[in-house]
Amino acid sequence: MIQRLFIFVISNKLYPYYCWIVLMAASYLTGSLNFPGASATDEQMRPFAGAIAMPTIIAYLWYALISIHDTAVDSFNQLAENIPEEQQKIKKKRFLQTAIRNTAISIVLSLLATFSYLYSEDLLAFDGNIVSITMNLMAVPFWFFIFFFIVHTVSLNNIATQEYLTKDSIDIMGIEKLAPVSKFVVNNTVKAAIIFVLIPLFWIGRQIPRIDIILTCLLLLGITFYLFMPVFKAQRIIAHKKAMAIQRIYKKLNDTMEENICGGRRITDNPRTLRRIACLIATKTEIAKVREWPVDVPQSLKVIAVTAAAPLSMVAYSLVDYALSQFNLFGL
């Protein structure tokens, strides 16, 4: 059953859109989207903000999960091209088992988180209010996709660093083969950063302490750093191999010079030695030019732009809040 749920979640990119339409329709029909008014308290604004934020974030997380899963599968398949077929089968089986385990963990955590949060905030729908019941029910898939995204992304990151980025699999003269790593990391980072862009939806019409904004930005930076761990590991391996290769070249150059000196001849009088030295120098130059980072400039700029969009979205939230306070858009 868990395996079927996982396959269903990642099977169709249209499902998130259908989900958003259904959840927004449910919010509208139950009155959750009725704007309380500009003078409403934080408690009165909470259902309205939740009715906008939860369906949007649920649909986005669902779409993001499909995207990062598809990208991971494609990237891992490309990285495994030079791996023996038997090992590929083992890795694919382990990958599926990990995904199914992540689904089960996410279900348990989402139920616990939903009950704990609603109970601690005194939001459980014991009064039979249709708006409260709608928000309570919507909280379950919301926390499920939150935990599923976190657990699955962490697992994919671990698989990338432990299974596919090893010293034996990385060749300093074949860094272009690490393009799938770059695609995988950038995609995960961008998808995670967009979640923080959507968080201000929960703050519509509410007074949010400045410390919450600061903590949100710090959390975004921490997640971005973690998601780039495969890139950092690849860079360390490439830098180490470059240093070792250049060191070996210098040793060969010294040995060649010493052999020539011991022979009592000048270097210019020994064409064979000259060719050998020229070859070693050319190889050293070629190795020194190899870039260490498997992420190119355009991709780096893409990550920076999306990451910077999160703090900017918090500014945009205040503008939306002002607009809603001037016009009763949802209370018609």
Per residue in 70-110, pLDDT (tens digit) is 888 888 887 777 666 666 666 667 777 777 777 777 778 77
- The pLDDT of residue 61 is above 80: yes
Distance between CA 259 and CA 279 in Å, rounded?
17
pLDDT given at position 204: 74
pLDDT given at position 37: 66
Average pLDDT rounded to a whole number, residues 8-30: 86
Report the predicted TM-score, pTM, of the whole model to 2 decimal places: 0.76
Q: Which residue has the higher pLDDT, 34 or 37?
A: 34
CA 33 to chain centre: 31
pLDDT given at position 287: 76
- The pLDDT of residue 28 is above 80: yes
Q: Mean pLDDT in the chain?
A: 76
- The pLDDT of residue 288 is above 70: yes
Q: Which residue has the higher pLDDT, 60 or 199?
A: 60
**Quick one: pLDDT band at residue 180, thresholds 50, 70, 90?**
confident
Residues 241, 169 contacting (CB under 8 angstroms)? no
49-58, 219-228, 320-329: which is most confident? 49-58
Residues 50, 202 contacting (CB under 8 angstroms)? yes
Residues 164, 79 contacting (CB under 8 angstroms)? yes
Q: Which residue has the higher pLDDT, 307 or 262?
A: 307
**Quick one: pLDDT band at residue 21, thresholds 50, 70, 90?**
very high
Distance between CA 107 and CA 245 in Å, rounded?
49
Of the candidates 316, 25, 51, which has an alpha carbon nearest to the alpha carbon of residue 196? 316
pLDDT given at position 206: 67
- The pLDDT of residue 60 is above 90: yes
pLDDT given at position 58: 93
Q: Phi/psi of residue 257, each to 5°?
A: -65, -45
- The pLDDT of residue 27 is above 70: yes
Average pLDDT rounded to a whole number, residues 184-204: 83
- The pLDDT of residue 49 is above 80: yes
Of the candidates 260, 198, 261, which has an alpha carbon nearest to the alpha carbon of residue 20? 198
**Quick one: pLDDT band at residue 42, thresholds 50, 70, 90?**
low
Name 302's Cβ contacts closer than 8 Å, sequence gap at least 6. 186, 190
Q: Which residue has the higher pLDDT, 10 or 15?
A: 15
- The pLDDT of residue 322 is above 80: no
Tell me whether residue 172 is exposed, middle or buried, using C-beta atoms within 10 angstroms of its C-beta: 0 to 12, 13 to 18, 19 or more.
middle
Q: Minimum mean pLDDT among 65-74, 75-84, 117-126: which range?
A: 117-126
Average pLDDT rounded to a whole number, residues 121-131: 65
- The pLDDT of residue 208 is above 70: no
pLDDT given at position 331: 46
- The pLDDT of residue 286 is above 70: yes
